[in-house]
Amino acid sequence: MRVRLQLNVNGEQHDIVTAANKTLLEILREDLRLTGTKHGCELGECGTCTVLVDGEPLLSCLLLAVDAEGTEIRTIEGLAAGPAPHELQIAFADLGASQCGYCSPGMLVSAAALLKRTPTPDQDEIREYLSGNLCRCTGYLKIVEAVELAAQRVAESRAAGEPDPEHRQLSHPTSGDASTLDPVEGKRGSA
Ligand code: FES
Ligand code: FES
C-alpha cells in the first residue's frame, strides 16, 4: 500500500508518496537522498541511524516514517548552519574523533541533543548519553574529548555574546585539518 506523507526535515517540508511500511531511515536515504544518516544493524543496536525528532535522538531504523508526520526531523545534513559547521563537527575534525566516519553522523546528532540538554557535560555524562552510539574505530576517548571541547567553545562563544554560539564560519581555519572538514559527514574529506 502506498501513502502520501508530509515530512519536515531540516526545516523543509517534503511531500512524499511512498510505501506505507518504510522506515524513516529508508525514506531519508532512498526518497530524500539524505544519505548522511547511515544504515547499520537495522535492529536498534548500533545507533548509526540516529536522527533528531523534535530535538530528541531516535533510531530512524525503528521508526515508521508515517509515525514521524507532524514532527520536526533533523539529520546530520541539518546540523551545520549553511556553510558554518556546528562546533561539534569542528571539534571532531580538530581532535580526530572520526576515523572511518560511519558512526559520526549518529554520534554528532546525539551529541548535539546532549549539549541542548546539558550545555557543559562531564565525561561520564557524555559517555552515558552516547552509550547507544557504537564506534568500532576510535575507542571513544577522542569522541568524548571532542564533545567536551565543543561544549567549552560553545560556552565561550555564548559568554562573548555571539549570535549563534553553536556554529562557526571557517573562513580562516587555524587548527587541525579543519579546512578539509566535511560538514555533512563531520569528518575530514579529501583535500
Ligand atoms: S541501523 Fe538503526 S540502530 Fe543500527
Ligand atoms: S569512526 Fe569508524 S565506526 Fe566510529
Q: Per-residue pLDDT tens for 174-187?
A: 454 443 444 444 44
Crossing angle between the packed helical segments 104-117 and 141-159, to the nearest 10 degrees: 40
What does the pLDDT read at residue 41? 98
Q: Is 69 in the pocket of ligand 1 (CB under 6 A)?
A: no
In a domain, residue 79? The reply is: no
Collapsing DSSP to helix, strand or coil, 111 comes out as helix
Q: Are residues 126 and 167 in the same domain?
A: yes
Measure the CA angle with vertex 134, ends 88 and 164; round to 5°.
15
Q: Per-residue pLDDT tens for 58-71?
A: 999 999 999 999 99
Q: Are residues 66 and 97 in the same domain?
A: no
Lining residues, ligand 2, CB within 6 Å: 98-103, 135-138
Q: Is 46 in the pocket of ligand 1 (CB under 6 A)?
A: yes
Q: Are residues 63 and 13 in the same domain?
A: yes
Mutate which of 42, 51, 136 for ligand 1? The one with the most ligand atoms within 8 Å of its CB, which is 42
pLDDT (mean) for 1-29: 97
Q: Sorting pLDDT into bands at 50, 70 and 90, what band is 171? A: confident
Q: Are residues 32 and 92 in the same domain?
A: no
Count: domains in the chain: 2
Q: Domain end: 74, 96, 118, which one?
A: 74
Crossing angle between the packed helical segments 141-159 and 87-95, to the nearest 10 degrees: 140
Q: Are residues 70 and 98 in the same domain?
A: no
Q: Are residues 58 and 105 in the same domain?
A: no
Dihedrals φ, ψ of 165, to 5°?
-65, -15
Q: For residue 58, what is the domain's CATH number?
A: 3.10.20.30
Per DSSP, helices labelled H in the chain are 24-26, 87-95, 104-117, 123-129, 141-159
Ligand 2 centroid from CA 174, angstroms: 25
Q: Are residues 48 and 94 in the same domain?
A: no
Q: Domain range for residue 130?
A: 87-186
Ligand 1 centroid from CA 155, angstroms: 31
Ligand 1 centroid from CA 46, angstroms: 5
Task: Please list the residues that pair with 167 across neighbouring strands.
Answer: 86
Q: Per-residue pLDDT tens for 106-140?
A: 999 999 999 999 999 999 999 999 999 999 999 99
The dihedral sign for the CA sequence 117, 158, 83, 187: negative
Q: Domain end: 36, 51, 74, which one?
A: 74
In a domain, residue 166? The reply is: yes
